[in-house]
Structure 1
Amino acid sequence: MKYIHFIVNPISGKGKHKITKKDLELFFPPESYELVVEYSEYKKHAIALTRDAVAKKPDIIVACGGDGTIHEVASGLVNTDIVLGILPVGSGNGLASNLNISKDFKKAVDTIKNGSYSAIDVGMVNGRHYFFSNMGIGIDAQIIRKYESMPTRNLSSYVKASLLSALKYKPNKIKVDCNGQTFETTPMLFFISNSNEMGYNMSLTPKASLQDGFLDFLVVPKLNIFEQMYFGALVLMNKTDTFKKANSQLVKEINVEISNQNSTPMQLDGEYYDLNNNILKISILQESLKVVV
């Protein structure tokens, strides 16, 4: 009998979904599956729920929510034999899209029931914080911070948060060490990606892969307001690779020191964090998370 443990964020995607154990048993009959369904009640609650679930040794733990919920659940499964399942019922659903997991509920459930297991790479910050899609310490962190304060989460809110952040963002000087080179930059955007999609079908790194053993590093210098608007349009069109002022490269490890601050505003998979450190070591853990696809 296969044991599948579901962790549901009841407010993901404006709370329109109603995932219950009774609903899931229509697809996973009790005579063949042991099902447990739990609901997160606040931000980062899924981290604790996942930790408790791992101790019970299920075959699969399914994150039911958006990228934030998936991030919290997946963080507890890195370097374990437990497989991550995804029911994408959030707003952005970037990781699910990159893994070709359907937003259609029945199709996503069928993937969990009949899909195959695949190992993907995982990004890590300072040996303790994981990311699966992307992370950033530039204007994107401020965009996420403002986005999280908005009453609704959708593409128009994200665009509004981006425009407001662009008007007020003041970059800091950053010392970077990667690929045997050291350089300084004062970036508008400092973005490191493991996947080729951020959510809402947008991408800053369209050539990134979850299974190539590399992180895609993108740095964009400080821009004037017209350059910012042009770059923003390229983001919406997934054509950032045509922006001549952008510098991109593949990295396995990158060391960062940020001037004039003791803490670092950071986004991990579209969730805002305030890291109590101005020195970051960002690296990749190859094939360290099993996912059902």
Structure 2
Amino acid sequence: MKYIHFIVNPISGKGKHKIRKEDLEAFFPSNEYKIVVDYSEYKKHAIELTKNAVAKNPEMIVACGGDGTIHEVASGLVNTSIALGILPVGSGNGLASNLSIPKDFEKAIRIIKQGNESAIDVGSINNHYFFSNMGLGIDALIIKKYENMPTRNLSTYVKASLQSAMGYKANKAIVHCNDTVFEVNPMLLFISNSNEMGYNMSLTPKASLQDGWLDLLVVSKLNILEQLYFGSLVLMSKTEKFKKANSQLVKEVKIEMENKDSIAMQLDGEYYESKTNIFKISILEGSLKVVN
């Protein structure tokens, strides 16, 4: 009998999904599967629920939510034998899209039942993980504004981006990578493990979850016209055409930000504030099993 543990964020995707245990049991007959379903109640609760689920040793833990829920669940499965399953019911769904997991509920369930596993790389930053991307530039401010908006969709993400562009002030950073050191006042300091951020947009369209590299993208401070042009390239996933972008593959990066009380950053589309101004980032090759 196969044991699958589901962790559901009931408010992902505006709470329209209503994933209940009875719904899941209809697809997983009790003579073949043991099904356990937990519901997260607040931000970071899925981390605790995942830890408790791992102790019960299921074959798979399925994150039912958006990128934030997936991030919390996946963080507890790095370097374990337990596979991550995904039922994408959030707004952006960047990692699920990169793994070709459909938003259609029954099609995503079919992938979970088939159980085909592969190993993907994971990004590590200080004591945290990221699976799609992280950033220490304007993207963190965009996420902060986006999280405070009454609705979450592509139009509100674009609105948050435009608002952020008007008032963003870059913090000086010293970047160590590939045996070089450079100083920059970045509008964007972005490190990606995947080729999609969500909403079918990409800053790093050539990035791969399985190539053993992280994609570093640094864009210095821009004037408003340059920001609008760069934004249009992001929407078209053609950032490689932007001549002011510094893009390179990295295994490890050290970033020293201008010393402040806290540094804004985003991890997989979730806003965080860090009390340190030094960030050590590296790739953990093939350290997460996923079902796709």
The TM tier, using the shorter chain, reads over 0.9
What's the CA shift for 1:260? 3.5
What's the CA shift for 1:161? 0.5
Matches within 5 A, 1:34-183: 34-126=34-126, 128-183=127-182
Please tell me the residue identity of whatever aligns with 1:35: I
194-203 vs 235-244, which deviates more?
A: 235-244
Write out per-residue CA displacement over residues 102-144 of structure 1, whole angstroms, 9 at most, x where no aligned residue.
Answer: 1110000000000310000000101x10000000000000000
Please tell me the residue identity of whatever aligns with 1:133: S
Distance of 1:136 and 1:99 partners within structure 2:
21
Write out per-residue CA displacement over residues 59-89 of structure 1, whole angstroms, 9 at most, x where no aligned residue.
Answer: 0000000000000000000000000000001
What's the CA shift for 1:18? 1.3
List gaps (5 residues or longer) in structure 2.
Answer: none
Distance of 1:38 and 1:144 partners within structure 2:
27
What's the CA shift for 1:263? 2.2
Distance of 1:124 and 1:275 partners within structure 2:
15
Distance of 1:186 and 1:26 partners within structure 2:
54
Matches within 5 A, 1:174-253: 174-253=173-252
Report the count of equivalent residues.
292
What's the CA shift for 1:39? 0.6
Q: 1:150 is paired with a residue of what secondary structure? A: coil
Distance of 2:60 and 2:129 partners within structure 1:
19
Please tell me the residue identity of whatever aligns with 2:230: F
Write out per-residue CA displacement over residues 152-204 of structure 1, whole angstroms, 9 at most, x where no aligned residue.
Answer: 11111101110111011000110010000011011100000000000000000
Distance of 2:5 and 2:243 partners within structure 1:
47
List gaps (5 residues or longer) in structure 1.
Answer: none
Distance of 2:11 and 2:74 partners within structure 1:
19
What's the CA shift for 1:227? 0.4
Distance of 2:281 and 2:69 partners within structure 1:
22
CA contact (8 A) 1:172 1:260 kept: no
Aligned to 1:288: 287
Distance of 1:20 and 1:92 partners within structure 2:
22
Aligned to 1:31: 31
Distance of 1:115 and 1:161 partners within structure 2:
38
Distance of 2:201 and 2:226 partners within structure 1:
19
Please tell me the residue identity of whatever aligns with 1:227: E
Please tell me the residue identity of whatever aligns with 1:99: L
Distance of 1:158 and 1:67 partners within structure 2:
15
Write out per-residue CA displacement over residues 211-245 of structure 1, whole angstroms, 9 at most, x where no aligned residue.
Answer: 00000000001000000011111111111111010
Q: Does 1:259 align with 2:271?
A: no
Q: What is the alpha-carbon root mean square deviation over aligned residues? A: 0.6
Q: 2:161 is paired with a residue of what secondary structure? A: helix
> TM-score, length-normalised on structure 1?
0.99
What's the CA shift for 1:20? 1.0
Q: Give aligned-pair identity as a percent.
A: 75
What's the CA shift for 1:266? 0.5
